């Protein structure tokens, strides 16, 4: 199957940091279809040879195991081409059309790795220049808007020129091997389904922690914040995977229909719930990785008086028979004590204790997403005899490390998703009604914060966030992995 993959923003950060390494890995693994071209688009005046040399130099920053040898890159470079374009100029789309017209590829993928405010304009110009053909597929990177209205505006503009089946709204978390194993654990095994409900689960906790600050993205992040950047998309998609009902089959719309039901079942926010169950924070100067680092407001590109949150903790509930009364916790932030993402499923305690056991729930499932990828099942087992009290139970764990089991050369998120786009598989991409439901749920939080003069709570860089978040969730046994 021949394909042309057009990268709008082909010289940008996302292209060389994520997309090109992913495409090279697919090329190295032999999974990238033959007969393909990768066409970078940008405002730079580059020849094909200059573009190839630019991408070659960028691979010096890639992990050593994923770095091509000179011979490998020479073969991969034969796929790379460049078209100079100003995306605001209609006549430049004719230049792209001429390049695509040099052959008639089976599939043309337009990947918009650009600023979101260009999405609508690019789509309109693709239609005006006749490049919105039946074999065209469009990939949209997040953020898709900054609120419900802007999200609808972008989606409406895209749907005016392309069918929904041609639109691939990417959330790279859905391509992570760990998230794939989350679906496999739930729907490929009968072990957990009987207890995957309110009668047996006390609470579920989703943690996405980053140890880095905003780096060079201060100006972008200051207009976005943790709620838009992480909760509205990544965290809610994980929540859907955990809470959705089993789909009737593995087809894209069957899966996405069930995720949509979860989003529509999230209990809506009231002022009282917002005040009690949502915490926002902003990192101050502190020690991270043994080095002193500045606070968020001292980062380049950030407003010195910024009220943007770099940390969010919240308590959500789902109004359904399966999950009524079970709290779902989401916590995410930057400049925290470690880079770590995991899901903690706390099961209820045994209804009647006949053994001496430590207090608290020791039956839990930990789903590690990064940097480790695997499952830990925590149980109680007989550890020692006590002459006075009889058997004493002690915590033990069963540990399954997927990287060790399946090897380190696993398909990365962007590699998987790019191959799915080329093949036309929509399962791991977000439908427009999912996005709208997610925005509808988070928008009251944004409005509440806009009217709240207290602002985000400070926390020291290198810590686990504002202390207030611990008080909010202490009664349900919230803990980070190293505390569990």
In Å, what is the CA distance from 350 to each residue of 353, 354, 432, 462?
Answer: 6, 9, 42, 37
Q: Which of 446, 352, 368 is nearest to 404 (CA)?
A: 368
Q: Give the separation between CA 418 and CA 38, rounded to whole angstroms.
A: 12
Q: Which two tokens stand for residue 460?
A: 């020291």
Residue 140's closest CA among 175, 164, 171, 165? 171
- The beta strand positions in 248-373, using DSSP E, are 278-284, 286-288, 291-293, 311-316, 328-333, 340-347, 364-370
Q: In this structure, are strands 167-169 and 136-140 parallel, antiparallel, or unpaired?
A: parallel
Q: Are strands 136-140 and 201-209 parallel, antiparallel or unpaired?
A: unpaired
C-beta of residue 275 within 8 angstroms of C-beta of residue 269: no
**Helix, strand, coil % (nearest 5) of the chain?**
40, 25, 35
Q: What are the residues whose beta carbons fall under 8 Å from the beta carbon of 269, sequence distance 6 or more? A: 278, 441, 444, 445, 448
Q: Which of 81, 234, 342, 378 is catalytic?
A: 234
CA–CA dist 10, 55 (Å, integer): 10
Q: Is 277 a catalytic residue?
A: no
* Catalytic residue ranges: 234
């Amino acid at each position: 199957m021949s394909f042309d993959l057009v990268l709008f923003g082909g010289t940008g950060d996302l292209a060389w940091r994520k997309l090109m390494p992913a495409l090279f890995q697919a090329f190295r693994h032999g999974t990238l279809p033959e007969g393909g071209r990768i066409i970078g688009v940008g405002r730079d005046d580059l020849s094909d040879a200059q573009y190839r040399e630019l991408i070659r130099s960028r691979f010096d920053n890639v992990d050593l195991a994923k770095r091509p040898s000179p011979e490998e890159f020479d073969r991969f470079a034969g796929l790379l081409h460049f078209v100079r374009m100003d995306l605001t100029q209609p006549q430049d789309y004719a230049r792209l059309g001429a390049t695509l017209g040099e052959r008639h590829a089976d599939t043309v993928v337009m990947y918009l790795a650009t600023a979101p405010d260009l999405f609508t304009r690019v789509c309109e110009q693709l239609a005006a220049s006749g490049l919105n053909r039946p074999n065209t597929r469009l990939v949209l990177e997040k953020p898709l808007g900054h609120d419900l209205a802007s999200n609808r505006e972008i989606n409406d503009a895209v749907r005016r020129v392309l069918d929904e089946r041609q639109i691939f709204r990417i959330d790279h978390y859905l391509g992570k091997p760990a998230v794939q194993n989350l679906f496999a654990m739930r729907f490929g095994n009968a072990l957990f389904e009987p207890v995957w409900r309110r009668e047996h689960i006390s609470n579920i906790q989703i943690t996405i922690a980053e140890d880095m600050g905003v780096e060079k993205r201060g100006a972008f992040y200051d207009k976005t914040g943790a709620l838009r950047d992480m909760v509205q998309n990544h965290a809610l998609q994980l929540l859907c995977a955990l809470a959705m009902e089993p789909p009737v089959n593995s087809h894209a719309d069957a899966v996405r229909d069930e995720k949509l039901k979860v989003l529509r079942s999230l209990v809506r926010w009231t002022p009282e719930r917002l005040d009690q169950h949502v915490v926002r924070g902003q990192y101050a100067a502190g020690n991270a990785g043994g080095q002193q680092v500045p606070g968020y407001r001292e980062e380049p590109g950030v407003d010195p008086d910024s009220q943007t949150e770099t940390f969010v903790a919240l308590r959500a509930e789902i109004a359904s028979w399966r999950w009524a009364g079970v709290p779902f916790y989401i916590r995410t932030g930057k400049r925290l004590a470690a880079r770590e993402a995991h899901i903690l499923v706390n099961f209820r305690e045994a209804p009647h204790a006949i053994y001496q056991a430590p207090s608290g729930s020791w039956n839990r499932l930990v789903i590690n997403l990064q940097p480790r990828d695997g499952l830990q099942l925590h149980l109680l087992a007989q550890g020692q005899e006590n002459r006075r009290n009889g058997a004493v139970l002690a915590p033990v764990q069963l540990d399954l490390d997927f990287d060790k089991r399946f090897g380190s050369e696993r398909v990365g998120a962007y590699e998987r998703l790019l191959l799915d786009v080329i093949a036309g598989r929509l399962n791991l991409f977000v439908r427009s009604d999912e996005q709208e439901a997610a925005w509808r749920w988070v928008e009251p939080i944004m409005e509440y914060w806009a009217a709240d003069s207290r602002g985000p709570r400070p926390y020291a860089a290198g810590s686990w966030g504002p202390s207030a978040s611990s008080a909010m969730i202490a009664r349900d046994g919230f803990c980070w992995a190293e505390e569990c």
